[in-house]
Structure 1
């Protein structure tokens, strides 16, 4: 059974570890808690037996636009609909906050997930690498 929690108390080590495992990178401790409190409209965690197994955050412009970031599910819990439920819960939270639009940028291999599974409409966007 997966429990979904909105704006849960974030443990920086636990979330840094989940993020690294989900994205196949080296664990680097990040100041998630402070960053989320300062910049995020909301965030949602998926918990199995009180262990964080999925995460998504929503940042916003303070008005009509919100942005999905850092969707992550532990590989041991993949292909169970957790990512989809996280994104849909995040969308519900953004809507409840008065946002009109929810944006997401994704790599091509994730198009099926965001478009088919989560209901996003594909649009063109551009990216400028700053570092």
Structure 2
């Protein structure tokens, strides 16, 4: 397994991985490459024999705060530490860019992953749904 930072993104491949990792039906291809170039500080992919098996992106405010988004590992490769390695590399990249804080929002069932495995401190947060 190899980690690659800011790798060239294939929208179809990443859309499929995202759908599989989040348990949703493969549907529309999302414009990942354009979004990442425009909004992300960095992104990291995990590859097994050139096949994308994991992904995470880091967005930021242009200053001290960065945000982990879309941590995804192909279900066939889960429970092997790939997600933890992706988040650790993303944290290293954010640190190297001068960020002071790395934030992540997660659902309760992911507490052991983000707090336990990845070392985040739990905090209170709030969410406002804007559509739907």
TM-score, scaled to structure 2: 0.98
CA-to-aligned-CA distance 1:63-95 (integer Å, 9 cap, x gap): 000000000000000000000000000000000
User: What secondary structure, in the 3-state scheme, does the structure 1 residue paired with 2:54 have?
Assistant: strand
Aligned alpha-carbon RMSD (Å): 0.4
Q: Residue 87 of structure 1 corresponds to which residue in structure 2?
A: 87
Q: Residue 102 of structure 2 corresponds to which residue in structure 1?
A: 102
Q: Distance in 2 between matches of 1:123 and 1:21?
A: 29
Q: Distance in 2 between matches of 1:5 and 1:116?
A: 24
Q: Which runs of 4+ in 1 moved over 2 A?
A: none
User: What secondary structure, in the 3-state scheme, does the structure 2 residue paired with 1:35 have?
Assistant: helix
> After the TM superposition, which residues 1-131 of structure 1 pair with which residues of structure 2 at under 5 Å, given as runs?
2-27=1-26, 28-131=28-131
Q: Distance in 1 between matches of 2:87 and 2:79?
A: 14
How many pairs does the alignment contain? Answer: 130
Question: What are structure 2's unaligned runs of at least 5 residues?
Answer: none
Question: What are structure 1's unaligned runs of at least 5 residues?
Answer: none
Q: Distance in 1 between matches of 2:88 and 2:75?
A: 20
User: What secondary structure, in the 3-state scheme, does the structure 2 residue paired with 1:90 have?
Assistant: helix
